[in-house]
Structure 1
Amino acid sequence: MMRVFTILAGAAALATPHAAIGETLPGCSVALAYSQAHQGLAVLVLRDGEVVCSSAKVDEPHEVWSGTKSLVGLMAAAAVQDGMLRLDETAANTLTEWRSDPQKSTVTLRQLLSMTAGQPSAVGRPQGYADSLKIALVAAPGTRFQYGPAPMQIIGEVMRRKLIAAGQDPNPRSYIERRLLAPIGVRVAEWRNGPDGNPLMAQGLVLSAREWVKIGEFVRAGGTVGGRALVDKHAFAELFQGTEANAAYGLTWWLPRQSASRDPVTRTADFAMSPTGLPRDMVVAAGAGDQRLYVIPSQRLTIVRQARLDLAALLMRSGGADWSDRQFLTLLLGK
């Protein structure tokens, strides 16, 4: 433990907080040091929309990796408000080629968003939309949590076809930017496409901390901007409810809940393995390399943490990670 604090003390000299005038978080400096000691690039904390802790480089865009998935959940809630879909409708309502498959024909959009539709866990570059539709199920829909890119790519194809049917631009990215990001005031630095030229829905979004935090503030405000709801309120609430297969994962958002899931991604998230003491209302968008967007309504906080993705270290992880969400939040909040 002494070695940990020695490292943090040394890093603290390099990680000068740029907090707003007025109220600051007492744990700001030590939390910035902890982040920097673990490949950190940027930290930005807002309380009631005002900056109370900040590192440098919060305006430099970085890939949020699977943090992109949580934006897909918000897209679905917006599409529910627009009358384009229902969370419990089957994907086969739109994906006609699935109708003759005994298992795929029963998969719901909710199951795709909660990673319980039956596609296998996978890492690496996602396949295109059409190829993702062809992936065989390895579990009965609704029975097992299996984290991977395929469900998000399939949601991308569902939205593409629904947008065509509605006579709109079929690009899901265009829909997200028009319906959500533009009203929120988010500027996208980049959004990578997959091998088929369609936007990657499982990853690929590039944002600065200052832009990503705006999405968190939108969530903290209950899916509203200036008091106006941009998404269906019931669908929005369901984004943050876990499933029987994994209590720590809702519809594209992570939750501080004890999880019995054996999925390797869940096992490396200590807010799922040991959530005791963490704010119960916290919700998290998380990406590879420990990219994080934490939203804690009860404490009026929105927190972004971005880091370098060390692929070698990521592949060597087994059962736990050097980065600890619990440690970072404990230092930051002074708990």
Structure 2
Amino acid sequence: MRNALISGLAQLLLVPAMIAQAPAAAAYPCAAAAAYSAARGGVSLIIMLDGVVVCEDYPNGGAADQAHFLASGTKSFTGVIAAAAVQDGLLRFDELVSDTLTEWQGDPVRMQITVRHLLTLSSGLEPGGNGAPPSFATAVASRSVHNAGERFEYGPAPFQIFGELMRRKLLAAGRDGDPLSYLQARVLSPIGVTPAFWRRDSDGMANMPSGAALTARQWAAVGEFVRLGGVVGGQALVDPEALRALFEGTDANPGYGMSWWLIGRPGLRTGRGELAPGGPEAGDEITISDAIMAAGAGKQRLYVIPSRGLTIVRQTDRAASRGRGDGGRLRWSDAAFLEAILGDD
């Protein structure tokens, strides 16, 4: 299914469990951020403050029940899967991937790669191009071009390798080997989210780096789950310590954790231009240290800023925006957009 816009799906939960509506949302200053997003091809905008929706806008033909592909915004789900797997005793962030992908044993470079290296994009493996991601099998065969931990290289292959790692871990534990089924059962169903669609390869394996399509409200529910440290209704769905570990940068890139952009950290590196489509722009300075982001082409955005109680979703219709640049006619700046929301705060 190639169209980035999916509508008319009766099974969509328009108000997931993590979303509350504000009785007086109009009191929040929304107009500047809404106008900024709409002028750049935005079709949905949700701003949540302390768990309450204070702004919701669907310009340019958008609607609350329309799901859009998140592109590389999908990548950040892999970190959530990993944190849940740590809590379940399925893996450790610093275990060697070759303990599970035994075909790597005997390769002295790939044998040094940990799960953390994979998800921080510092594995040293060929990252892959930004078109269709490689299959799990093709990704696992990727060769090393640097030593693990030396360089940040943005691309889809490490996330597909993680998918194969999880598949084998789950099967070894006597579970369904599908990483998406695991994510759905462990996290998404408890927070009231069922993705409208998730692309799979011809071999049936999930597209881990770019395959998910969600409504704005669904993606906001995921952001709230992260903002609250994995605790829902007083219960830790994911161990908070394991979840916090996703937001630790590396020497290779202080501004990228395990599958999440750490946009408020000094020293953020975006990769070599074309290797991070839809990611943050070089020089786009954000001064809130705990601001994190899931980001995809078209400037699909999920921002989480725990210190301000904020979860923010912004989406575009990528199919409609092709040929017009990255999601609209005007340049996108994460710093300018967030300033429109936060002002001088």
Shared fold (TM-score, shorter chain, > 0.5) = yes
Q: Match for 1:128: what amino acid?
A: S
The answer as to whether partners of 2:286 and 2:335 remain within 8 angstroms in 1 is no
Looking at structure 1, the residues matched to 241 and 82 of structure 2 have their Cα atoms a distance apart, in angstroms, of 12
Aligned pairs for 1:135-146 (under 5 A) are 135-146=142-153
Cα shift at 1:164: 0.6
Aligned pairs for 1:182-221 (under 5 A) are 182-221=189-228
Deviations 1:152-196 (A, max 9, x none): 000000000011101111111000000010111112100100232
Identity %: 46
Cα shift at 1:259: 2.6
The answer as to whether partners of 2:70 and 2:213 remain within 8 angstroms in 1 is yes
Quick check: 1:303 aligned with 2:309? Answer: no
Deviations 1:57-105 (A, max 9, x none): 1331000111111111010000000000000001101001001111111
2:244 to 237, 243, 265: 237
Unpaired segments ≥5 residues, structure 1:
1-18
Q: Match for 2:86: what amino acid?
A: V
Cα shift at 1:26: 4.5
Aligned pairs for 1:18-167 (under 5 A) are 20-24=22-26, 26-56=28-58, 57-121=63-127, 122-167=129-174
Change (3 A) 1:190 1:229: same
Number of equivalent positions: 313
Looking at structure 2, the residues matched to 276 and 33 of structure 1 have their Cα atoms a distance apart, in angstroms, of 20
RMSD over aligned Cα atoms:
2.2
The answer as to whether partners of 1:70 and 1:285 remain within 8 angstroms in 2 is yes
Tell me which stretches of 4 or more aligned residues in structure 1 moved more than 6 Å.
none
2:187 to 180, 183, 187: 180
Looking at structure 2, the residues matched to 235 and 288 of structure 1 have their Cα atoms a distance apart, in angstroms, of 28
Looking at structure 2, the residues matched to 275 and 227 of structure 1 have their Cα atoms a distance apart, in angstroms, of 35
Unpaired segments ≥5 residues, structure 2:
1-20
Looking at structure 2, the residues matched to 132 and 313 of structure 1 have their Cα atoms a distance apart, in angstroms, of 32
Looking at structure 1, the residues matched to 27 and 298 of structure 2 have their Cα atoms a distance apart, in angstroms, of 25
Deviations 1:95-118 (A, max 9, x none): 010011111111100000000001
Q: Aligned residue for 2:283?
A: 273
Deviations 1:212-258 (A, max 9, x none): 10000001111111111112332211100111111110000111223
Cα shift at 1:23: 4.6
Cα shift at 1:314: 5.1
Looking at structure 1, the residues matched to 312 and 102 of structure 2 have their Cα atoms a distance apart, in angstroms, of 41
Change (3 A) 1:254 1:150: same
Q: Match for 2:238: what amino acid?
A: V
Looking at structure 2, the residues matched to 313 and 100 of structure 1 have their Cα atoms a distance apart, in angstroms, of 48
Looking at structure 2, the residues matched to 315 and 195 of structure 1 have their Cα atoms a distance apart, in angstroms, of 28
The answer as to whether partners of 2:284 and 2:333 remain within 8 angstroms in 1 is no
Change (3 A) 1:73 1:272: farther
Q: Aligned residue for 2:300?
A: 291
Looking at structure 1, the residues matched to 152 and 91 of structure 2 have their Cα atoms a distance apart, in angstroms, of 23
Deviations 1:106-133 (A, max 9, x none): 1100000000001234211101100111
The structure with the largest helix share of the pair is 1
Corresponding residue SS for 1:183: coil
Q: Match for 2:267: what amino acid?
A: S
Corresponding residue SS for 2:217: helix
Looking at structure 1, the residues matched to 142 and 110 of structure 2 have their Cα atoms a distance apart, in angstroms, of 10
TM-score (norm 1): 0.88
Cα shift at 1:281: 1.3
TM-score (norm 2): 0.85
